[in-house]
Structure 1
Amino acid sequence: MTSDATAYATETQYATQWLAKAGLRPTRQRMALAELLIGDGQHRHVTAESLFEAAKSKGAAVSLATVYNTLRAFCEAGVLHEITVDGSKSYFDTNTHDHPHFYWEDDGRLSDAPAEQLQIACLPDAPEGAEIAAVEVVIRLRRKG
């Protein structure tokens, strides 16, 4: 087997297992997007638009609407986490464990921040009748100079 064929087999295997873990049927579109998201076994942060462009460049026949719908299905299944920046821009993270993020304002990029360096001493009490569902930490950065 060539190295390209081996890489493709591994990407397909990761994607198949990821979808199975989520209880999602491996449709052609889901497989194509899952391979781009986790096929190399690495975590990543994507926008719907960046994933759509990556899919187009790989020759996958998916529409932007399909990408949005598939990302939503992945989030609902618990294999992706959505992080919203500025109240409107959504990033999708393949690492679903709680961890902080850096948002790089200069190029609109999201990356993981070192969780072991974050200390939250206490949270405010939730209002009566409510409970805290999640705490998301996004640290905004801009380049000096």
Structure 2
Amino acid sequence: MMNGRPFDGTRAGTLKRERDVTELLRGAGLRPTRQRLSLGALLFDGVDRHVTAEMLHEQAIRASVPVSLATVYNTLHQFTHAGLLREVAVDGAKSYFDTNTRDHHHFYLEDENRLIDIAGGSIAVTGLPDTPEGTEITHIDVVVRVKQARKR
């Protein structure tokens, strides 16, 4: 699905998705290169999801998209900088990229290494400190870590 429209899997559907991704990239100020188009088609299918660079690289390889892991990282960061993705840092070594860029928070399922969205108004953040002079808060990421409870 792209812009609320499902794809039918036909060549016409594929061409429509390519045009939609091209428009999306151009609208974000990015040149639609072959790699950006290929990775964008994998990411922006109308279903919000959370991916790591490694996950997207594996998906690209399965889809016969010849791309290096470094290119995937670079493209994800370019998409994030352009406002198409939101980076969610789970710990110092692991980041997920979220196709849902609206304000929301996440559960991190530690046992599954997976993020899921927390419903919109479920968390209220209060008591924020004053920001340093000349700065403003862009967004707040709350990641609630959960794991399977031990059976007693």
Instruction: State whether TM-score is above 0.5.
Output: yes
In the alignment, the residues of structure 2 paired with residue 18 and residue 12 of structure 1 have an alpha-carbon distance, to the nearest angstrom, of: 10
- Counterpart amino acid of residue 51 in structure 1: L
In the alignment, the residues of structure 2 paired with residue 129 and residue 31 of structure 1 have an alpha-carbon distance, to the nearest angstrom, of: 37
Where do 1:51-130 residues align within 5 Å?
51-126=56-131
Per-residue CA distance 1:82-104 (angstroms, 9 max, x = gap) = 11111220100111111101111
Query: Of 22, 31, 46, which residue of structure 2 is paired with 1:25?
Result: 31
In the alignment, the residues of structure 1 paired with residue 16 and residue 111 of structure 2 have an alpha-carbon distance, to the nearest angstrom, of: 35
Q: Residues 130 and 35 (structure 1 numbering): CA distance in 2 closer, same or farther, change over 3 Å?
A: closer
Q: Structure 2 length as normaliser, TM-score?
A: 0.84
Structure 2 unpaired stretches of 5+: 1-7
In the alignment, the residues of structure 2 paired with residue 101 and residue 118 of structure 1 have an alpha-carbon distance, to the nearest angstrom, of: 10
Structure 1 unpaired stretches of 5+: none
Query: Of 6, 9, 12, which residue of structure 1 is paired with 2:15?
Result: 9
Superposition CA RMSD, Å = 1.9
Equivalent residues, number: 143
- Counterpart amino acid of residue 12 in structure 1: E
Identical amino acids, percent of aligned pairs: 50
Q: Residues 10 and 141 (structure 1 numbering): CA distance in 2 closer, same or farther, change over 3 Å?
A: farther
Return the offset for 1:122.
3.1
In the alignment, the residues of structure 1 paired with residue 99 and residue 87 of structure 2 have an alpha-carbon distance, to the nearest angstrom, of: 9
Helix, strand or coil at the partner of 2:145: strand
- Counterpart amino acid of residue 32 in structure 2: P
Deviates more, 1:4-13 or 1:26-35: 4-13
Q: Structure 1 length as normaliser, TM-score?
A: 0.88
- Counterpart amino acid of residue 140 in structure 2: V
